[in-house]
Structure 1
Amino acid sequence: MIRGIRGAITAFDNDVNEIIDATGELLQQMVEKNKIEPENVAQVIMTVTEDLTATFPAKALRDMSGWTFVPVMCMKEIPVPGSLEKCIRIMMTVETGVDQKDIQHIYLRDAIVLRPDLSTK
């Protein structure tokens, strides 16, 4: 079955290392908690808010062993007034036998406010 796995994290600053570190932390938890193997990933879409411009978050995924051939795209999040700042979001499309209700979506740091119902799972 094809499933979407969501995640989000906030960066502390608009800094290359901070964006890569935050994205790496989020990816690591998404992969570990959902037991994801790169060969089962169809694509990864990453978005950032307008205030994160120092680097592409996809660089964090490229540093992960075995992820060379996974297609990744970075985009800018819609700038809705009052929305969460310095936020990196990830949508990973994977093939898995896990039931939809058992997928572990990951929300870290201030991004917990985006989906508190999924963050307490």
Structure 2
Amino acid sequence: MTRGIRGATTVSVNEESEILDSTKELVETMIEENQVQASEVSHVFISITKDLNATFPAKVLRGIDGWKYVPVMCMAEIDVPNSLQKCIRIMMVTNTSKSQEEVNHIFLNEAVRLRPDLIKGE
């Protein structure tokens, strides 16, 4: 079965290093928490809010061992008034035997406010 794994994080400033570091932390946590293998990933979409333009967060995936050929695309998030700012969202689509309820969606930093209903307890 193909499933989507959601992830989101925020940064405090629009700087390349912070965007890349935060994206890397998010992607690596998504991979670890869901036992994802690059060869099982169909594609990854990354959206960012309009206040983040210092770099392409997708660059991070190219540096992860085995992820060179996974298709990744960045795009702009819809600019909804009063929405969470400086936010990076990821949709990773992968083959998995997990049910939808077993998928671990990852929300870090201020992004925990986006979907508190999906955050699993430790």
Instruction: Report the equivalent of 2:5.
Output: 5
Instruction: Report the equivalent of 1:77.
Output: 77
Distance 1:110 1:101 in 2: 23
Per-residue deviation, residues 29-79 of structure 1 (Å, max 9, x unmatched): 000000000000000000000000000000111111100000000000000
TM-score, structure 1 normalization: 0.98
Instruction: Report the equivalent of 2:111.
Output: 111
Distance 2:61 2:68 in 1: 8
The one-letter code matched in structure 2 to 1:111 is A
Gaps of 5+ in 1: none
RMSD of aligned alpha carbons: 0.7
Trace 1:1-121 onto structure 2 (pairs within 5 A). 1-121=1-121
Contact kept? 2:104, 2:120, Cα under 8 Å:
no
Structure 1 position 120, deviation (Å): 3.5
Identity of matched residues, %:
52
Distance 1:73 1:53 in 2: 14
Gaps of 5+ in 2: none
The one-letter code matched in structure 2 to 1:35 is Q
SS at match of 2:7: strand
Contact kept? 2:23, 2:57, Cα under 8 Å:
yes
TM-score, structure 2 normalization: 0.97
Following TM superposition, the consecutive aligned residue runs of length 4 or more in structure 1 with deviations greater than 6 angstroms are: none
Distance 1:58 1:79 in 2: 20
Distance 1:29 1:82 in 2: 28
The one-letter code matched in structure 1 to 2:46 is M
Distance 1:24 1:64 in 2: 9
Distance 2:13 2:39 in 1: 32
